[in-house]
Amino acid sequence: ARQPEAQSLDMRRAAALARRESADSWSAEPPALEVSGKTDQLHRNDGSREYEIGLAAPLWLPGERASTAALADAEVRTSTSRTLAAQLRTAAAVRAAYWDWQRARIDVLVARERLANARELTSDVSKRVRAGDLARADQHQADGALATAEAALAEASGAFASVEQQVRSLTGVTPAPAAEGFPVAEAEPVPATPSAPEVGHPAVAELRDRAELAQRSMNLAGIQGRANPELRLATTRERGASGESWQQTVTVGVRIPFGSDTRNRARVASASAEAIEAESQLRLERERLATEVDTARVRVESARTLVASAERRAQLAHESRGFFQKAFRLGETDLPTRLRIELEAAEAERQVARTRIELAAAVSALRQAMGLLPE
């Protein structure tokens, strides 16, 4: 809805279809009406009169009509593929902004959890300080950990607000978090053959259609080496002097202009340059896409391994925190150890949440490299 290329697609397609329809007409340009009159009234005034009315129609050059139709067909395909490629580029921007938003959101959730644990710890320390089990210095350490958690939450909230504004400016809406707190990832595409990225990929299709359009333009420019000939059909009514009878004649003629290779050379050279550039870009884009898909697949596998490792670490950190929480309440461990365990557990939770986001983002990047729109 907000994409400029999508909004102008109908008009571009209508223009290409209009050019296609013009290629079906019998004349290269619309016919012209010619009307003229001749009289001797201004000097001798013998009654000599001559009136002529006719039509002049430009004719197609040999092969020009078929080349014009082929060029119009290529323009129709190019307008469609150009919009699809622009949609894919827009999808890349939306995907990047969306996963940045998810990363920032996870940071806020983890920071809130860390703050809640810090408050619980501060409450426990305060009770033990009042009971005389801990010193005032331990209270200061707990308060410092609480202040650090509050600062981390404020920093994460600020980053989240900034990323959220970027998403809103790009899409016009703010994405809603999933009910369970974790975003719904895109479906991982099935393994494809090495040549699969070239089949139906919007970026490749756009460049392929652009190359074809440039080739059609070059062919047409080569045919249009001179102006179009004109077919002229006219009728003349005349008399030599007053009192004479009117005479009627019909004129049929053809006007054939001479060609000029110098004037047409610039058009052919420009069209040839466009064709060469489009072909080169198409070749480079195919190589880039093949490399990008391979890299994206490796990234997905690496992210999946990291998720498994992070989940294992988070599970161990969670169990260790439970052990040390109980030991701290019983006075069997000191506060610095408890603070270190809390920090390690918070970092493990943050890592597992981030790795899950990175896995989903890697799958999204793989779909982007394969030319698939978000689902």
Structure confidence at residue 250 as a pLDDT band (50, 70, 90): very high
Q: CA triplet 370, 373, 375: central angle to 5 degrees?
A: 120
Per-residue pLDDT of 293-333, as tens digits, reads: 899 999 999 998 988 888 888 888 877 777 776 776 666 67
Segment 72-88 mean pLDDT? 88
Higher local confidence (pLDDT), 363 or 184: 363
Per-residue pLDDT of 5-61, as tens digits, reads: 788 888 888 888 888 888 888 888 889 999 999 888 788 888 888 999 999 999 988
Q: Closest Cα partner for 353 from 105, 94, 96, 98?
A: 105
Residue 2: its pLDDT value, please?
80
Measured distance CA(344)–CA(107) in Å, rounded: 15
Residue 278 pLDDT > 70, yes or no? Answer: yes
83-97, 113-127, 217-231, range with greatest mean pLDDT: 83-97
Higher local confidence (pLDDT), 270 or 185: 270
pTM over 0.75: no
Q: Which helix (H) or strand (E) holds 231?
A: strand 230-239
Q: Closest Cα partner for 209 from 293, 289, 274, 267?
A: 274
Indicate the average pLDDT of the chain. 84
From first CA to last CA, the distance across the chain in angstroms is: 17
Segment 185-203 mean pLDDT? 67
Structure confidence at residue 178 as a pLDDT band (50, 70, 90): low
Per-residue pLDDT of 81-117, as tens digits, reads: 888 898 999 999 999 998 999 889 888 888 888 888 8
Residue 182: its pLDDT value, please?
58
Residue 263: its pLDDT value, please?
67
